[in-house]
Structure 1
Amino acid sequence: FLLRAIGAFPVRRGEADRGALRMALNVIAAGQPLGSFAEGHRSESGQLIRGHPGVAYVAQHSGAALVPLAVIGTKRARLGAFWRRDILIRVGEPFRAADLAVNAHDPQAVTDAIMRRVAVLMPEEQRGVYR
């Protein structure tokens, strides 16, 4: 209920969820912000895992500015539910998919370039596949 109240919508994992992609584009077209975790799920290791190309599709088809965010400390927060844990959010410089120096016809290359913008905001040991 709470997630729906803030505008969250489900994405079917493991497939190209065209309905979710349309919904994302509609949110942006309506002038609303859209948050996305390109990895598709939490990393058990706390390191970045490869992003899925849906983020590239939305970035390229909307033309919207992207603001990379790194959320650091969530693994420790999950482990200590009864004690206060600090979570750090680092915010990068806005950019557009068209600014990326990669093959625009390769969705995974675009996604990886977007994810590298997130990775540089994280401690090196948490950058995972984007070291």
Structure 2
Amino acid sequence: MRLGAFPVRRGEADAEALETARTILRQGGVLALFPEGTRIRDAEHLGSPRRGLGRLALETGAPVVPAAITGSEHLFLGPFPKPKRVQLAFAEPIPASHLPATPEAAGELVEGQVWPRVEGEFRRLRARPGLIALGLAALGVGGAEAYRRRSARRRRAARRPRLRLPGR
């Protein structure tokens, strides 16, 4: 399995990132994403999930593997990772191929099936000692797809004729 990452513009609808995610899933790849849509600094609570995870699963038929992470909120309190206790747990996969690709089904998948399992794993991890992690740089899959798209955009831009000003 190849690990990588692709950029997501935060705070706005990022159509290119969603298309990259769809491509990865349709090709049978693995995609790690955080349904809260942002970083949560509160070590005691999870954020609120959004429906994008459900939409991607329903549109591509990819199963969802709920996961929880604890201890990562203090890894990057500066320019370099700090040695901290980090725990990661995965629940059983949830199939999504049998559900209709509707906004209601996406909400039910995330809020009714995925998120309760994430919360359960989160509570379980909070109740037990963890492992020491020396660094957690980036987690994600799809760097190759994002790189391919970015390279293609650059090649197209290079083929466009440039306006030349007199004397330059």
Q: Is the 8 A contact 1:70 1:121 kept in 2?
A: yes
Greater RCO structure (CA 8 Å; 6+ sep): 2
TM-score by length of 2: 0.59
Structure 2 equivalent of residue 61 of structure 1: 59
**Which one-letter code corresponds to 1:64 in the other structure?**
A
Which consecutive segments of 4 or more residues in structure 1 shift more than 4 A?
A: 78-83
Task: Measure, in 2, the Cα distance between the counterparts of 1:58 and 1:23.
Answer: 11
Alignment of 1:11-50 (within 5 A): 11-46=8-43, 47-50=45-48
Task: Measure, in 2, the Cα distance between the counterparts of 1:60 and 1:123.
Answer: 27
Task: Measure, in 1, the Cα distance between the counterparts of 2:66 and 2:98.
Answer: 14
Aligned residues: 119
Q: Is the 8 A contact 1:16 1:54 kept in 2?
A: no
**Structure 2 residue runs without a partner (length 5+):** 127-168
- Please provide the CA RMSD for this pair: 3.0
**Which one-letter code corresponds to 1:52 in the other structure?**
R
**Which one-letter code corresponds to 2:93 in the other structure?**
P
1:120 paired with 2:113, answer no
* Structure 1 residues 20-42: Cα deviation after superposition (integer angstroms, max 9, x where no partner): 21111100122211111111111
Percentage identity across aligned positions? Answer: 31
Structure 2 equivalent of residue 87 of structure 1: 86
* Structure 1 residues 61-117: Cα deviation after superposition (integer angstroms, max 9, x where no partner): 1111211111111124446978632211111101123578xxx54233332232222
SS at 2:117's partner residue? helix
Q: Is the 8 A contact 2:62 2:97 kept in 1?
A: no
